[in-house]
Amino acid sequence: MADDDLIDARAEAERVAREGYGRLLAFLASRTHDVAAAEDALADAFAAALVHWPVTGVPRVPEAWLLVTARRRISDEARRRRVRERDRDRLLVAAEEAAARCADEEAIPDERLQLMFACAHPALDPAIRAPLILQTVLGLDAGTIASAFLCAPSAMSQRLVRAKRKIHDAAIPFAVPEATDLPSRLDAVLDAIYVAYGEARLTDEAVHLARVASFLLPGAPEALGLLALMLHLQARGHARRGAEGAYIPLTEQDPTRWDGRLIAEAEGLLLRASAFRRPGRFQLEAAVQSAHAARRQTGRTDWPAILGLYDELLRVTGSVVVAVNRAVALAAVDGPRPALAALDQIADDYRLADYQPYWAARADILAEIGREEAAQAYERAMGLTTDDAVRRFLAERSAAARSRATGTVRLSSVAADEHAVQHRFPGRRQRPS
């Protein structure tokens, strides 16, 4: 057999894995409530495909082949893993049903959305929801997820196992919630996807998830808003780094280096979302990014418009992260003193102690006023970043501020940038006040 066939078979297995994994898992798991057993069966089937397809050729309906193989594995695995009989039988029936549908070329129904709602259920720890969605819908392994979330692989595995066990034991439903509950439950799903986006190594995966969510919920403006927001941020991926990997903040980026295709797609989504006349947090955040993107055409940033959007966002979310970003916009509109006053108002919030963009914004604003405390704030910000390029950037700013203790520094804070993602907070439990 030719090498080309081998490569084709491998590529096809990978394509099916990428596009079909979540669909197959959702179908199996929603009928059995046993995510772990369904994962094991599918993982075996994909491993078998990589062995067999290069030899026998890619089957005509790859998904059906996978499910028939999975079905065979379920019996073997169940014996070994002592899966309870009732669960094994349900899993077998689900695999058969799915395989039969595929064989008839009737696509198996797309239940990835139901799977996402189960994984972002309010009865699960908020911090595990994003990892769980990444694992079940995209098939990422615990090690990859753990490294993205800066967590030990064994700890991440354990937490994922525990969450799956709760889904099974407490019978968390695989269902799209009723209309009355939908907005708040959808928020949890979108939050989890945005948390995944906040992990720099998983941005492509998160965009894919947002695409799935907005495709399956075309009538949910917030799902469209989230995808628009993420595409706007993605559009700047290259412009964010200069020569030798130096960090370039949003306001100093060259707009011609932004990806016009992604911006156009984001604008289209935002337009569709706004037609529903039901604004929400993600649409507002996308609108902020849209306002920044307009600099590509106009050559200038409409800070008063951005400030207005942050005012509205602050009203909707009450989030301190938004308050930090709003202060940066306020500095651009009214100058650094009112901005510092705005930051002082939230300075007592314990969550800001390790929130890097707050310290970066505070440092820039203090430097612009010419206050000496800027140096300490830059130092805090440097100590909290995980990105070496950002660290170097902050060090340069700090040095520049010192060298001209008076005078003005053009404000282009890290906090105004795309990395001021809200991901640091939703996963954390609120301390009882």
> Which helix or strand (DSSP H or E) is residue 164 part of?
helix 153-169
The smaller minimum CB distance to other proteins, of residues 2 and 123, is found at 123
The smaller minimum CB distance to other proteins, of residues 16 and 115, is found at 115
The smaller minimum CB distance to other proteins, of residues 123 and 150, is found at 123
Nearest distance in Å: CB 316, other proteins: 25
Contact with other proteins (CB under 8 A) among 45, 163, 172, 414: 172
Nearest distance in Å: CB 88, other proteins: 11
Contact with other proteins (CB under 8 A) among 90, 103, 173, 305: 173
Taking CB under 8 A as the criterion, which residues in 177-196 touch other proteins? Answer: 177
Contact with other proteins (CB under 8 A) among 6, 161, 175, 275: 175
Reference 362, options 301, 320, 392, 404; nearest CA is: 320
The smaller minimum CB distance to other proteins, of residues 87 and 368, is found at 87
Identify which range of 84-92, 139-147, 253-261, 397-405 contacts other proteins by CB under 8 A: 84-92
The smaller minimum CB distance to other proteins, of residues 177 and 338, is found at 177
Name the DSSP class of 124.
S
Nearest distance in Å: CB 174, other proteins: 9
By the rule CB under 8 A, 84 interacts with other proteins: yes
Q: Which letter, b or e, does each residue of 48-82 get, where b requires 16 or more Cβ atoms within 10 Å of its Cβ? A: bbeebbbeeebbebbbbbbbbbbbbbbeebbeeee
By the rule CB under 8 A, 93 interacts with other proteins: no
Nearest distance in Å: CB 23, other proteins: 22
Nearest distance in Å: CB 101, other proteins: 24
Nearest distance in Å: CB 177, other proteins: 7
With tokens 């893993």, the residue in question is 81
Identify which range of 78-86, 186-194, 202-210, 396-404 contacts other proteins by CB under 8 A: 78-86
Contacts of 350 (CB under 8 A, 6+ apart): 431
Return the half-sphere exposure (C-beta side, CA atoms, 13 A cut-off) of residue 105. Answer: 2
The smaller minimum CB distance to other proteins, of residues 132 and 328, is found at 132
Contact with other proteins (CB under 8 A) among 4, 60, 80, 85: 85
Query: Which residues lie across from 247 on neighbouring strands?
Result: 241
Contact with other proteins (CB under 8 A) among 71, 73, 112, 121: 121
Nearest distance in Å: CB 401, other proteins: 50
Q: Could you tell me if 146 and 152 are in contact, meaning their C-beta atoms sit under 8 angstroms apart?
A: yes
Nearest distance in Å: CB 82, other proteins: 12
By the rule CB under 8 A, 169 interacts with other proteins: yes
CA quadruple 355, 360, 366, 372: dihedral positive or negative?
A: positive
Query: How far is the C-alpha of 362 from the C-alpha of 366, rounded, in Å?
Result: 6
Phi, psi of 253 (to 5 degrees): -75, 150
By the rule CB under 8 A, 79 interacts with other proteins: no
DSSP labels, 258-312: S-HHHHHHHHHHHHHHHTT----HHHHHHHHHHHHHTHHHHSS--HHHHHHHHHH
Structure token pair of residue 247: 């960090």
Nearest distance in Å: CB 25, other proteins: 19
Reference 367, options 414, 320, 325; nearest CA is: 414
Interface with other proteins: number of residues (CB under 8 A): 12
The smaller minimum CB distance to other proteins, of residues 11 and 161, is found at 161
Query: Which residues lie across from 241 on neighbouring strands?
Result: 247
Query: How far is the C-alpha of 226 from the C-alpha of 409, rounded, in Å?
Result: 33
Taking CB under 8 A as the criterion, which residues in 122-151 touch other proteins? Answer: 123
Q: Could you tell me if 84 and 91 are in contact, meaning their C-beta atoms sit under 8 angstroms apart?
A: no
The smaller minimum CB distance to other proteins, of residues 177 and 335, is found at 177
Structure token pair of residue 338: 């009112």
Residues that bind other proteins (CB under 8 A): 84-86, 121, 123, 169-173, 175, 177
